[in-house]
Amino acid sequence: MKKYKKIVRLIPLDQRRFKFLYIVSLLLIFCLFGRLVKLQVFNASDLQRKARLIQSSKTNALKKRRAIVDRNNRLIAYDKSLYKLWAHPKYFNFPGDSINRVRSIEEVTQKLSSILDIQGEILLSKFNSKMSGIKLLDKISEENAEKIKNLQISGLDLFKYSQRYYPQGELYSNLVGFVNDENIASAGLELHLDNQIKVFNKSNLIKRGGDGTPLPDNSAPGDFISDYKSLGLTIDSKLQKASFNALSKQVSKWKAKKGFAIVMDVNNGRILSLVTFPSYDPNKFWQYNSELFRGWYSQDLFEPGSTFKPINLALALEEKVIQKDGVVEDTGEITVGGWTLSNWDKKGNGYIDYPKVLQVSSNVGMVKIMQNLDPKIYWDWLKNLGINKNLETDLFESTAGQLKRKDLFVNQSIEPAVTSFGKGFSISPLKLVQLHAALANGGFAVTPHVTSTFKERVNKYPKKQFFSNEVSKIVLEWMESVVDKGSGSGVKIEGYRIAGKTGTSQKALNGSYTSKKVCSFVATLPVNDPKYAVLVVVDEPSKSFAYGSTVAVPVAKEIIESLIVIEKIPPMIKDHGMIVKKP
């Protein structure tokens, strides 16, 4: 049987239809190409940004600061997490409501008022004609913020931020300082050690897959752990409070301009307490005069007066221009370079030994002692002590002391004469503490500091030595006689060997001395095993009979009594006529 093939007749394609399909195809190709160019060229950066948002999450930390704690980990400053509440009335919607339903402002404020314990009328008054972006409240606690979140009301936004808080108020303000409302360090350690207190994160970006799963990258272990270590201070809060109470009471009693008190370990420079008065509440810093924000104990200079006499005696001993058992004639007045210099009481004391010079605070005796020392050598000693240098410390930037030019000091005999009893030059209270610490620890320079991690060059070997060990011991014993028999007797405490020296210096203005005074007292204890230096400075007491012995000594005694208890310093006891240390 024959098979027949089906014959299909080919009909030519209609030219109009062919052109239409061709044009449509070209248009589609051009559209696809244009879309590709748009995505690859014009929208590339935007698409990359969107991709990164999907593929990675940014862990933005708050602008946090480390907590500041004392040596016993008591809080001095810390960051408190607070919230701001913003309202968008056009989106007000409760859980379970239909999407299109918008709740009234009254309904929302009613729920908020019960949580925040604020009258609904007060909240309502904060709303205006705006339908979005209304700031309702600030400084909302974490507890209340969590309650607001649990309401799940659409149209309410909580913005978390960090605020610095100082739980001990004015007790530490002159030392620690504060940060302002914009979280910017503005005074004290907060400003001076800002980079050490700020918290820095090593990394803040983590890659994720399409389902949100974290993907491995080049991050090192621990990169996403924030560093929230505290800044530890050497300060003891109990001693700080005792010092503050003693100082503030005395400054108020004598109607003085200001006062300063410090307790320092003479062997390493660690400061156990540092207070000034008047002070301020750093939580309400805007209510106070900015003058209170200064660390004047390291930035202001004063003439140390008689508290510098022990330093001068040490220099005379070092240069062997006096002997330990020598005497000097105190005539009450002495003329130097045409100037008449006298004792504070205008009276002479006759022939007295060097401990007696300190006990009666003889200016004439000191002038005669230091006249034995070549002015060139004397000036070189003062420079070597760093009188005109800054202290390298972790406190406020210190101001360098003022010392006369060497040529003036050498050629004008009045200059070394007045320097012998602590006038004619100026130093900061902090520098005076350092010098007396050197007298106490065997002659070595230490730098006053308050942070437990502070590393200072002068405490690294080799240490700089101001005085010999032998000279230091001699002068310290002479200073002990001031407490036993002289102007520092008000600080005497039964069972404890305390060395000290009072100071009362007039303040200079435009080259002339005024009636305004600076009263001071420096003490070292215990003399048998020196460990602590205490300095009290009271500026411009306005009542009569204001001297170091009447104004500064009582403050020092209260501080020392607290120090003995807090540091558990054992007393000395007598055993068969000998003084021994109580076990």
Q: Which residues are catalytic?
A: 306
Rg over alpha carbons for the chain, rounded to the nearest Å, is 38
> What are residue 522's phi and psi, to 5 degrees?
-125, 135
Please say whether the beta carbons of 303 and 539 come within 8 A: no
- Residue 511 has φ and ψ, to the nearest 5°, of 85, 0
- What tokens appear for 64 in the block? 């946090």
- Residue 568, classed as helix, strand or coil, is coil
Residue closest to 71 by CA, chosen among 246, 204, 233: 233
Structure tokens given for 20: 């239409």
Which neighbouring-strand residues pair with 518?
505, 539
In 3D space, the residue among 401, 166, 385, 169 whose CA is nearest the CA of residue 298 turns out to be 401
What are the counts of helices (DSSP H) followed by strands (DSSP E) for the chain?
A: 19, 20
Cβ count near 436 (within 10 Å): 29
Q: Residue ranges of the alpha helices (H) in 96-253?
A: 105-116, 120-125, 142-151, 173-176, 188-192, 194-197, 237-253
Dihedral of alpha carbons 177, 189, 465, 527, sign = positive
Residue 419, SS3 per DSSP: helix
Cβ partners under 8 Å of residue 156, min gap 6: 85, 86, 87, 88, 108, 148
Residue 548 CA to its chain's centroid (Å): 28
Burial 66-87 (b: 16+ CB within 10 A, else e): bbbbbbeeeebbbbeebbbbbb
Q: What are phi and psi of 100, to 5 degrees?
A: -85, -5
Q: Which of 530, 511, 514, 533 lies closest to 522 in space, CA to CA?
A: 533
